[in-house]
Chains A and B, each alone.
Chain A
Amino acid sequence: MQKTVTTRQLIFILVISVLTLKVLFLPNVLATNIGRDGYIFLFFMLFMDFLVLLMLLYLMNKYKDKTFYEMLESMVGKIGAKIIMFLLFLYFLTRCWTRFQTSFIYLNENLYTSFDWYIFAFPILIVVVFCVMQGIKAFARLSEFFVPVIIFGFLVAFIVGVVRADFTNALPFLENGLNFMLSSHKYSLWFGDYLILILFFGRVKMDKKFNLKVILSMLSLILIIATFYAVFYFTYNYNTVCHINAISDIMQFLPSVSDIGSFDWILILIWDIALFLDLTLNTFAAVFAFSQVFTKKGSAIVATIILLVILLINYLLNFNVFMSMLIFRDYLWYYNVLVQGGIPLLLFIIGLCKRRKKDEVPVAQ
């Protein structure tokens, strides 16, 4: 397997996967359902995800030259590997669906007064398929090209928020106790981002401090995302529920003069790029999982089929975005939790056991 992705590119891809939706619509969802202490919940969920990252990093280091599928084959056999890959395929298919829907809501809310589904869907389908055709190396470079811009845009919004936020709104602390933790499973749709690493097994040129770099950057990201929620809530307090697009709304506070106009639309465009990258990343993962189970040829065809399936689902749901979100929240969370937590944990345990067996060999000898 050719090592085509650098450590820096991998970190940027993880940033895209983790950051994009967490600072866009999730703050509004958490503000509506949890409120003031949402940042504690967010921090907790991100930390749970972080444990998944650690497990996957362990496996990545252990099976340096193997792809994810090859690793699965060596752990659970061919049939087991195909079953897991199929589960992952369905998981990434649902993620593609959510990204697709989110993009549509985002554009409809922020950029266009009325936006036709077909005008939106087909150009995006063409560009995503084209990206998949170019391969993971080109996508990693594309991420490297844009993520610095995305991070810069986010930091501007973050700083603007910090300056405007009224931190006394943090009190009363835990006004509703920790009851909100009981409903954490219902937010699984918004998490499980590190599973995207299955694409990069055996493909990363690991630096000397590869693990440290990945872990530190992801920990910083978790802190920043949780703080961003806090800043967002402390800025608007009870009115936060009225602000759907966190990143754009917070930019309204940027000092601007009428001669220049508001800058938030620049951030809207930057986040359009982020959403696209996230969608393409998940399409890549879905194509990868599908290819391992069924056929290894024609990634462009597989990507087209996946995106057409998503369009068909939308068509069957009468393009009702909110209805599809409810289906997700109420029915698909079981499946999400199983795949997000269950599969990495299972593989991690098998990986550990294999290591112990290996360690025992020289003792027996």
Chain B
Amino acid sequence: MDNIIAEKRVLGIKKEFLDSPDIITKNIDLGKKKMSIIFIDELCNQEEINRSIIFPINRFIEKDFTLEELQDEIINFCNAEILEEKDIENKILRGFAVLFIDGDNRALGFNTVMYPGRGVEEPPTSTVISGPREGFTETLKINLSLIRKRLPSKNLKVEEIVVGRRTKTRVNLVYFNDIVDIKVVDEIKKKLSNYDIDGVMDSYYLVKFLENKPNSIFRQVGNCEKPDIACAKILEGRVVILVDGTPIALTIPYIMFEDFQSSNDYYSDAHRVSILRIIRVLGLFISIFLPGMYIALQLYHYKVLPLKFLVTIVNTTQNLPLNPFLEIFFIIVLFDILFEASVRMPKYLGMAISIVGALILGDTAVKAGLVSPPGVMIVALSAITVYIIPNQSSQISLLRIVFAIIGGTLGFHGIILGMLFLIVYLCNFDSFSTPYLAPYTPYIKGDLKDFVLKDSLTTMTSRPESIPNKNKTRMIRKEKEDAKDSNN
């Protein structure tokens, strides 16, 4: 043991790290004891290292001590731990400062991590009118603290898994131990352990590992960017997956109707929320079926149109060079091009693109007689309603085109067949033992309180049955309990 020299070990490690200039080493000579410290410059808080580690040690010149004494008595640093040789490299890579002393093959690791990162902000995709505005960040520790802050319970369990051979990304499963169905947790762990990928850049990588049907266009894993939503889902018996380096948390199990619910719904009047949810459902139907139905009406079923509407359409479409199907398809493609361009353009150009797209291209196309005003209106309405349910926008955009094609080739009957095809597919689409279309089918009466027509919070006394859980009781009405006691 005496021939173990700290300085040599540190140099060896630095060599293993290919002599990178950001690997900082420092030797400390205390006379009787020699020691060396190593850390990665960008990941550590140097001020903390100087103040909490090097400065206290320097006060103990000419004294002999062990690693344990150093940890417990000399350096009063709460995030210090003794590391075995096999863990040392990993800890350095995670932003630990590691201290070696002569004569000991172990080391002392100090958590001095200071990643560069942004602060807690309101997420751009989940803005709210009322309710908390905090959003997750790219730092796992902050995200976990945002959840812990809201759920201060000893039953809140956090399990850490490392995914990615090279990125060694930390993934945390967060759930209530006394609520969650442990089979769901086991299934998640099993699915994550099935893949040995080199790097995980975002939680979306894990989504594909977790899905039963990874090639499907439909989401099987939920996501959220706000800690209040994540906590509500944990309370319902779901598992929240936090991935280091991304502000998007994953939630499992997932049901389709989740995307019709907004966090605002829980901080607003139930009646108003019910109306908004009806509009969202209507929006979904408009966005998927309206272009297809408009084409089908013009090509096959013009008899069902009211006379005034029919006259308007005939007047505006009679001189068009394109048939209704090609006209609508042309506008959809035009709109998607504009959308893609405006998303990718720098912000200051985005506005200009919108003006060019909406005013110049759209207006000119109508005036040039390429497309009709009702056609533009139909596609514009359908395109806007896609974003009523932002989490489903990619699927809806795709289905809109599919149903436009079906409407153009088969008419209403084709649209009905397509809808049946789609829904029977979704009926057989369970996510972690949870039916995808619950609570509508299979019908779960208790869960309808938070379906399209939202009930008051006071009536939601039990957790959703559609989410597997082992503790059904969410709320007890004390008045009732007291009345029972007095009767007894």
List residues of chain A with CB under 8 Å of any chain B CB. 6, 8-9, 107, 111-113, 119-120, 123-124, 126-127, 130-131, 134-135, 137-139, 141-142, 144-146, 258-262, 265, 269, 272-273, 276
Contacts and interface: CB of A to CB of B under 8 A. Distances in A.
B300 A261 contact: no
A321 to B, nearest CB: 16
> Which 8 pairs of residues, A with B, have the shortest CB-CB distance?
A261-B306, A138-B428, A141-B427, A265-B304, A144-B441, A138-B427, A141-B441, A134-B428
Contacts of A135: 428
Contacts of B348: none
Contacts of B441: 141-142, 144-145
B267 interface: no
Given A261-B306, A261-B309, A145 B413 contact: no
Contacts of B305: 261
Contacts of B357: none
A131 B420 contact: yes
Contacts of A123: 410, 413-414, 417
A131 B424 contact: yes
Contacts of B309: 259, 261
Contacts of A8: 443
Contact of A145 (B308, B414, B421, B437): B437
B12 interface: no
Contacts of A138: 424, 427-428
Give the one of A111, A126, A265 with max B CB within 10 A.
A111
B483 interface: no
Nearest to A130: B421
B472 interface: no
Contact of A258 (B306, B410, B417, B437): B306
B303 to A, nearest CB: 8
Contacts of B428: 134-135, 137-138, 141
A269 B437 contact: no
Most A CB contacts (10 A, CB to CB) among B307, B425, B435, B441 go to: B441
Contact of A111 (B308, B413, B424, B437): B413
A139 B420 contact: no
A144 B444 CA distance: 12
B433 to A, nearest CB: 13
Given A9-B442, A123-B410, A135-B428, A258 B301 contact: no
Interface residues of B, number: 28
Given A144-B442, A265-B304, A276-B420, A134 B411 contact: no
Given A258-B306, A258-B307, A142 B420 contact: yes
Contacts of A261: 304-306, 309
B412 A145 contact: no
A134 B306 contact: no
10 contacts: A6-B443, A111-B300, A112-B300, A123-B413, A144-B443, A145-B427, A258-B307, A265-B304, A273-B420, A276-B416
B423 interface: yes
Interface of A is mostly: helix
A127 B427 contact: no
Nearest to B438: A141
Given A112-B411, A123-B417, A272-B413, 8 more contacts: A8-B443, A111-B301, A127-B421, A141-B427, A142-B427, A260-B306, A261-B306, A265-B301
Contacts of B301: 111-112, 265
Contacts of A127: 417, 420-421
A140 B244 CA distance: 42
Contact of B416 (A119, A126, A269): A269
Nearest to A266: B304
Contacts of B416: 269, 272-273, 276
B411 A6 contact: no
B77 interface: no
B440 interface: yes
A119 B410 contact: yes
A134 B423 CA distance: 11
Q: By CB atoms of chain B within 10 A, which of A113, A130, A145 has the most? A: A145
A246 B43 CA distance: 76
B440 A145 contact: yes
Nearest to A147: B441
B308 A276 contact: no
B413 A120 contact: yes
B410 A141 contact: no
Contacts of A113: 300
A112 B442 CA distance: 34
Contacts of B423: 142, 145-146
Contacts of B421: 126-127, 130
Nearest to A134: B428
B450 to A, nearest CB: 19
Nearest to B428: A138
Contacts of A258: 306-308
Nearest to B302: A113
A66 B160 CA distance: 46
A263 B46 CA distance: 74
A124 B437 contact: no
A111 B304 CA distance: 9
Interface string B395-428: 0000000000000001111101100110111011
Contacts of B435: 141
A287 B417 CA distance: 21
A131 B425 CA distance: 8
Contacts of B300: 111-113
Contacts of B420: 127, 131, 142, 273, 276
A309 B304 CA distance: 35
Nearest to B440: A145
A130 B306 contact: no
Nearest to B419: A273
Nearest to B309: A261
A261 B313 CA distance: 15
A314 to B, nearest CB: 17
Contact of A134 (B417, B425, B442): B425
Interface in B303-324: 304-309
Contacts of A130: 421, 424-425
A130 B419 CA distance: 13
Nearest to B310: A261
Contacts of A9: 442
Contacts of B410: 119, 123
Nearest to B297: A265
Pick from A259, A261, A273 the residue with the most CB of B within 10 Å.
A261
A170 to B, nearest CB: 34
A139 B426 CA distance: 11
Nearest to A276: B420
A139 B420 CA distance: 10
Given A112-B411, A123-B417, A259 B427 contact: no
B80 to A, nearest CB: 55
A123 B417 CA distance: 8
Contacts of B437: 141, 145
Contacts of A276: 416-417, 420
